[in-house]
């Protein structure tokens, strides 16, 4: 899959990293900056990756790296191995009244990004997931979305939608 990404997106080189840590986090910094991986246990991450077998996990910064910063309809990043491809959008807010608005925007960004990738790459042999990370930084293990209309929109694209901030690669 890494080779397919590099062929489909020739500008991917500075946006694509490979990690084999058993645990790492992804941080979405404030401002117009790309997401980055942190292996520091002291740093609070927006999204946690568990990799108990220490295999190669690829991180692809999409927003503000692969996609130009002038295109707000792209999700933040993707994570993938040889079996699973995960698109992730982070919206941090402590205000419950803003969560619905952020959740809707995050779903649109994920859908736009997935459709963009599907025009360039065949995902038929992969398990494709979309992760909505809306709200606080407290751990939220993998949980299928309860939004039936959104689940259907993603399912039409062959994608499972989750409301969480954690992914385990077995």
Per-residue pLDDT of the chain (170 residues; tens, 9 = 90+): 999 999 999 888 899 999 999 999 999 997 778 999 999 988 889 999 999 999 999 999 999 999 876 666 899 999 999 999 999 999 987 777 888 899 999 999 999 999 999 999 999 999 999 999 987 667 777 889 999 999 999 999 999 999 999 999 99
Residues 47 and 54: their CA atoms lie apart, in Å, by: 18
Q: Is the dihedral of CA 67, 68, 70, 76 positive or negative?
A: positive
Q: What is the pLDDT of residue 163?
A: 93
Distance from chain centroid for Cα 14: 17
β-bridge mates for residue 60, sequence order: 16, 78
H or E element in which residue 89 lies: strand 84-92
CA distances from 14 to 9, 30, 136 (A): 11, 20, 29
Residues 23 and 39: their CA atoms lie apart, in Å, by: 7
């Amino acid at each position: 899959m890494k080779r397919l990404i590099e062929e489909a997106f020739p500008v991917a080189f500075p946006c694509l990293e490979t990690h084999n840590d058993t645990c790492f986090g992804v941080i979405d910094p404030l401002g117009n900056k790309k997401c980055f991986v942190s292996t520091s246990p002291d740093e609070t991450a927006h999204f946690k990756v568990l990799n108990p077998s220490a295999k190669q996990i690829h991180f692809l910064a999409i927003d503000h790296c692969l996609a130009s910063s002038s295109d707000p309809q792209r999700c933040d990043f993707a994570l993938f191995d040889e079996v699973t491809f995960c698109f992730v959008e982070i919206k941090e807010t402590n205000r419950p009244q803003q969560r619905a608005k952020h959740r809707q925007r995050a779903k649109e960004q994920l859908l736009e990004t997935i459709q963009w990738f599907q025009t360039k790459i065949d995902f038929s042999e992969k398990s494709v997931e979309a992760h909505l990370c809306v709200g606080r930084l407290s751990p939220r293990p993998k949980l299928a979305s309860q939004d039936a209309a959104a689940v259907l929109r993603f399912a039409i694209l062959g994608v499972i939608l989750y409301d969480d901030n954690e992914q385990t690669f077995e």
